[in-house]
Amino acid sequence: MGIIKFLIITLIVLWVIRLLLRMIFPMVIKNVFSNMQQQAQQQYQQRPNRPEGSISIDYMPEKEKKKGNTDNLGDFVDYEEVK
C-alpha cells in the first residue's frame, strides 16, 4: 500500500513540476532575450556615427622585440618521409 501511495504522490509532484516549467520557462527565456536585445540597442546607440569608409583603431598592441639574429641559425634541411 505504501508503494502505491509513494508512486501516486511522485506522479502528482512530477506532473505539477512539468506544468510549472511549461508556464515559467517561456517567460524566463523571453525576459532574458528582451534584456539582451535592450543591451545591444544601447550599445549600438552609444557608438559614435562616422562617415562610411572611415577607419579607427581602438587598440594597438605593443611591438615585440625580436631576440637574436636569424642569420646564425644554420642551414635548412628538407624533410623527406621514409616508409
Residue type, 24: I
Give the C-alpha separation, 19 to 26, whole Å: 12
Tell which wins on pLDDT, 47 or 26: 26
- Residue 68: its pLDDT value, please? 60
* pLDDT tens-place string over residues 8-38: 999 999 999 999 999 999 999 999 999 999 9
DSSP string, 5-39: HHHHHHHHHHHHHHHHHHHHHHHHHHHHHHHHHHH
pTM of the full structure: 0.43
56 Cβ contact list (under 8 Å, min separation 6): 50
Tell which wins on pLDDT, 32 or 54: 32
Place of cell 594597438: 60
Instruction: With a cut of 90, say whether residue 49 has pLDDT above it.
Output: no
- Residue 69: its pLDDT value, please? 62
